[in-house]
Amino acid sequence: MNAPLGAAPERIWLAVEAVDMRLGIDGLSARIQASLGRSPCDGTTYAFTNRRRSRLKLLVWDGTGVWLSQRRLHRGYFTWPSASDPVFALTAAQWRWLTAGVDWQRRDAPAPAHWQV
């Protein structure tokens, strides 16, 4: 499997509530099970952020093990939903915008230069 941020997973869920970025695989897995009632090994990718939305943690089950990745923005913040639901589903295109640090909720946002072929 490629690095989790390199490609858009099939199912991507954002945990809407901010988490403590000190949590690792076990802590984030427990959070998925307890608050979402889901299995962290169901093939879904789960994304978490901190209160300032400057860091992103990603928990991915690839069929043989769990990946835990972290991305930090040096400037700005990740655009995150403010829904009442505990999780929010993204499309593959929205995922690419999010991980690039671009506001994925804007439909007319220009594609980042490194996406152009």
33-83 pLDDT, tens digit per residue, is: 887 788 888 888 888 999 999 999 999 888 888 899 999 988 888 888 876
- CA–CA separation, 24 vs 45, rounded Å? 15
pLDDT at 28: 94
User: Which backbone phi and psi does 28 adopt, to 5 degrees?
Assistant: -70, -35
Q: Say how many C-beta atoms besides its own lie within 10 A of residue 62's C-beta.
A: 14
List beta partners, residue 13: 46, 89
pLDDT at 3: 42
Give percent of the chain with pLDDT exceeding 90: 24
Residue 72 DSSP SS3: strand
List beta partners, residue 90: 12
pLDDT at 22: 95
Chain centre distance of CA 29: 14
